[in-house]
């Protein structure tokens, strides 16, 4: 189904995840070529950016990123939609639902580029210094960096923000980072040093601490009881980012405005970015209401995630007369490995053959043809279409990597082809051949159909599946879920899909209160790093919101750990290919399909760079409003 862009404005602490996952994934080259300077005596590197392998595509004196229009006009309004509700303007709360795009108010020390994998450049930090062994890193802050209240961003603020995430942040993040960092200290007002645990891998250390948002220590300490990172609140923390909250109406809209005094607007990394004078998010009960509002002009930019709607609903007059444009823009990043996720803590799913039987009841081909107009592509891999996607039986560098891991690798992983998604007949929902195969697997596992048509084990327990989903998801996705449940019921499984309020769904997701869930939580991986452990590691399995299955696999753990020790791009690709193979072997997700393009519809007043970044559509920060077109549409009453 959808790629990562499908949830247009659902930005929470997850916004930090791609920073970890994009760590160090390009060919090794000399840091000097990227504008870095090395000291032979101390074996340290000082640079304007960071990459684990030492490569930076942009030199120290670069003028702007290649995927922006450096002369883009500033002004106008980007207006978007969001579904559901919000009860907080704190994006990092562990309770409630945060408002959309609240993270755009906060800068970080470093930011990743969208045209190079694992490459980070200084934003708050004007320079980055680290020793060869990566036992520590020193960030030198830009003296011109200011919070929105005019106060300077200092090293103490950075240290305070780091400790705040450890003490009050998401448990999965706090526990992981506290094991990596042994000390954070302000060496002087503009210099902060992080020291790392010598017992952990050197991967993801610098980019993890560098990607933490910077908060104002003075703001939090002025009212520590009511200004907590982990609690919902409608008061917005002071940030140093390009946008600031302008207004909000709970569960109806949020508006951010561009700071006229944004300190970083002239940075080379920011040139041609942050082009909208304001960003407005309108809230709607569901996708149907949102689409009707888009047609009426209540908002002007829409990312479409529903193939049925994309194929059949874009025939309204504004599209015919050119007021609204519809475009499919190629997406070169691997699709989100979304699908139906098993809660592996549930005893009925302990047997992998039971999980495989349940998967056989999902008819992707019928779903695609009947619900999605044939616009989805079939997916098997966690990194579909990426160079490190596993295929066939392991060979070459991947086979050598797996053999080096020893007995933790099952023989069948080495000798049998990688698991591919099953194929069903598209002409009817219940593919009888697959359902018969599923029934045989379930009977062999001890789940037998009784006189009432329901499967039970020898203890008399029913084979039950409860799958909640939020009431605001796309209608075709809801139909896909219901159709899957219908097939499961047809083979004697007590399966039901439960439509719940979005806030209740958020709570149940965090508490893992489900048997199965349709999820987009997992992310494709372009490189190795700490984010892999957050999503797939055993230590985080019980509490990580990024691991909805609760996967805890010694095999996967060993592969992730070994991937941290890879020395170059080829070795890393072999490790990631092995990881993809192992994740598919563990069989904890039933893959759905994906769309190969970004589907965009917008009123004809938006401009975009000639060369878009390969890994990001960039509509939030590199597109812009054409003032003449906007004025013309306003005068014609095309939108509100």
Judged against a pLDDT cut of 50, whether residue 40 lies above it is answered with no
Three-state secondary-structure class, residue 373: coil
Predicted pLDDT at 42: 64
Among 597, 580, 438, which Cα is nearest to 523's? 580
Range of the domain at 385: 339-588
Confidence of residue 36 (pLDDT cuts 50, 70, 90): very low
Same domain? For 440 and 512 the reply is: yes
The whole-number average pLDDT for the span 423-451 is 96
Percent of the chain with pLDDT over 70: 93
Nearest CA among 120, 131, 119, 111 for reference residue 28? 119
| Three-class HEC string of 541-598 | CCCCCCCCCCCCCHHHHHHHHHHCCCCCHHHHHHHHHHHHHHHHHHCCEEECCECCEE
Q: What is the pLDDT confidence band of residue 2, given thresholds at 50, 70 and 90?
A: very low
Which of 588, 606, 632 is the last residue in one of the domains? 588
Answer whether residue 25 shows pLDDT above 50: no
So what's the pLDDT on residue 29?
Answer: 30
Same domain, 378 and 310: no
Same domain for 291 and 411, yes or no, is: no
- The pLDDT tens digits of the residues spanning 151-164 come to 999 999 999 999 99
Please report which confidence band the pLDDT of residue 365 belongs to, taking 50, 70 and 90 as the band edges.
Answer: very high
302 and 447 share one domain: no
Please report how the helices 569-586 and 554-563 are oriented relative to each other, as an axis angle in degrees rounded to 10: 170
Same domain, 504 and 483: yes
Tell which of 544, 570, 588 closes a domain: 588
- Predicted pLDDT at 26: 29
Neighbours of 131 (CB within 10 A): 14
Say whether both 172 and 313 belong to one domain. Answer: yes
Contact 519, 343 (CB under 8 A): no
Claim to verify: residue 269 and residue 291 sit in the same structural domain: yes
125 in the same domain as 53? yes
Same domain? For 118 and 21 the reply is yes
Q: What's the average model confidence in pLDDT over 510-533?
A: 90
Query: Confidence class of residue 30 from pLDDT cuts 50, 70 and 90?
Result: very low
Burial 88-108 (b: 16+ CB within 10 A, else e): bbbbbbbebbbbbbbbbbbbb
Q: Is the pLDDT of residue 33 over 70?
A: no
Compute the distance between CA of residue 588 and CA of residue 555 in angstroms, rounded to an integer: 14
> Cα–Cα distance between 89 and 234 in angstroms, integer?
5
Q: Are residues 275 and 322 in the same domain?
A: yes
Question: At 7, is the pLDDT very low, low, confident or very high (cuts 50, 70, 90)?
Answer: very low
Examine the domain organization and report whether 581 and 606 are in the same domain.
no
Instruction: Provide mean pLDDT across the span 237-257.
Output: 96
End-to-end alpha carbon distance in the chain: 32
Tokens of 357: 């039987």
Tens of pLDDT, residues 383-421: 999 999 999 999 999 999 999 999 999 999 999 999 999
| Position 530 confidence tier, pLDDT thresholds 50, 70, 90 | confident
Least confident of 4-18, 562-576, 617-631: 4-18
Indicate the pLDDT class of residue 16, thresholds 50, 70 and 90: very low
> pTM to 2 decimals?
0.83
Q: What is the CATH number of the domain that holds 522?
A: 3.10.105.10
If you average pLDDT over residues 239-258, what whole number do you get?
97
Helix (H) or strand (E) holding 490: helix 475-490
Count of domains forming the chain = 2
Distance of CA 193 to the CA centre of its chain: 28
At 502, is the pLDDT very low, low, confident or very high (cuts 50, 70, 90)? confident
The domain that contains 50 carries what CATH number? 3.40.190.10
Does the structure show a pLDDT above 50 at 529?
yes
354 and 473 fall within a common domain:
yes
> Which tokens is 535 given?
């999503």
User: Quick one: pLDDT at residue 169?
Assistant: 87
Write down which residue in 588, 604, 631 finishes a domain: 588
**Inter-axis angle of helices 364-371 and 475-490, nearest 10:** 140
Please give the pLDDT value at position 203.
87
Give per-residue pLDDT as tens, 71-114.
999 999 999 999 888 999 999 988 888 999 999 999 999 999 99
Q: Helix or strand or coil: residue 186?
A: strand
**What average pLDDT does range 30-45 have in this prediction?**
49
> Could you report the per-residue pLDDT of 318-328, keeping only the tens digit for each?
999 999 999 99
In which band, very low, low, confident or very high, does the pLDDT at 202 lie, cut at 50, 70 and 90?
Answer: confident
* pLDDT band, very low/low/confident/very high, at 583 (cuts 50, 70, 90): very high
């Amino acid at each position: 189904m959808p790629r990562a862009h499908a949830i247009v404005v659902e930005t929470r602490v997850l916004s930090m995840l791609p920073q970890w996952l994009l760590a160090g994934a390009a060919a090794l080259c000399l840091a000097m070529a990227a504008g870095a300077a090395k000291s032979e005596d101390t074996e340290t590197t000082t640079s304007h950016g960071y990459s684990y392998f030492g490569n930076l595509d942009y030199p120290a004196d670069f003028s702007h990123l290649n995927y922006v229009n450096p002369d883009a006009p500033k002004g106008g309004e980007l207006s978007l939609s969001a579904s559901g509700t919000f009860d907080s303007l704190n994006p990092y709360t562990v309770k409630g639902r945060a408002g959309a795009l609240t993270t755009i108010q906060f800068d970080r020390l470093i930011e990743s580029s969208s045209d190079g994998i694992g490459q980070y450049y200084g934003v708050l930090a004007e320079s980055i210094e680290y020793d060869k062994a990566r036992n520590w890193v020193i960030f030198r802050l830009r003296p011109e960096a200011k919070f929105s209240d005019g106060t300077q961003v200092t090293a103490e603020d950075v240290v305070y923000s780091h400790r705040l995430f450890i003490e009050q942040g998401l448990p999965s993040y706090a526990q992981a980072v506290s094991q990596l960092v042994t000390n954070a200290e302000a060496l002087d007002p503009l210099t902060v040093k992080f020291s790392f645990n010598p017992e952990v891998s050197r991967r993801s250390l610098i980019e993890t601490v560098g990607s933490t948002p910077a908060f104002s220590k003075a703001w939090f300490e002025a009212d520590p009881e009511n200004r907590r990172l982990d609690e919902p609140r409608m008061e917005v923390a002071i940030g140093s980012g390009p946008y600031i909250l302008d207004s909000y109406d709970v569960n109806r809209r949020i508006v951010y405005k561009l700071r006229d005094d944004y300190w970083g607007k002239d940075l080379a990394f920011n040139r041609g970015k942050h082009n909208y004078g304001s960003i407005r998010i309108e809230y709607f009960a569901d996708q149907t209401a949102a689409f009707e509002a888009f047609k009426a002009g209540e908002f002007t930019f829409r990312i479409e995630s529903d193939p049925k709607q994309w194929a059949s609903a874009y025939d309204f007059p504004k599209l015919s007369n050119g007021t609204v444009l519809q475009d499919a823009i190629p997406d070169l990043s691997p699709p989100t490995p979304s699908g139906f996720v098993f809660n592996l803590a549930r005893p009925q799913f302990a047997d992998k053959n039971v999980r495989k039987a349940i998967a056989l009841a999902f008819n992707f081909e019928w779903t695609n043809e009947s619900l999605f107009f044939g616009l989805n592509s079939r997916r098997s891999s966690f990194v579909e279409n990426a160079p490190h996607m596993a295929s066939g039986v392991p060979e070459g560098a991947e086979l050598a990597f797996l053999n080096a891991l020893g007995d933790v690798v099952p023989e069948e992983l080495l000798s049998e082809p990688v698991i591919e998604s099953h194929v069903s007949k598209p002409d009817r929902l219940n593919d009888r051949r697959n359902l018969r195969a599923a029934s045989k697997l379930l009977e062999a596992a001890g789940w037998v159909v009784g006189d009432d048509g329901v499967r039970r084990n020898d203890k008399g327990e029913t084979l039950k599946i409860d799958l909640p989903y939020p009431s605001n998801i796309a209608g075709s996705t809801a139909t896909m879920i219901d159709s899957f449940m219908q097939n499961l019921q047809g083979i004697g499984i007590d399966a039901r899909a439960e439509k719940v309020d979005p806030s209740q769904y958020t709570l149940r997701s965090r508490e893992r209160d489900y048997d199965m869930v349709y999820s987009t939580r997992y992310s494709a991986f372009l490189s190795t790093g700490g984010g892999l452990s957050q999503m797939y590691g055993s230590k985080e399995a019980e509490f990580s919101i990024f691991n909805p299955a609760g996967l805890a696999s010694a095999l996967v753990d060993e592969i992730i750990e070994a991937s941290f020790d890879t020395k170059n791009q080829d070795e890393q690709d072999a490790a990631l290919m092995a990881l993809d193979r192992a994740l598919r072997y563990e069989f904890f997700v039933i893959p759905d399909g994906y769309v190969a393009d970004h589907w965009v519809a917008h009123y004809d007043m938006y401009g975009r760079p000639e060369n878009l970044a390969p890994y990001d559509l960039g509509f939030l920060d590199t597109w812009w409003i054409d003032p003449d077109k906007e004025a013309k549409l306003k005068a014609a009453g095309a939108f509100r």
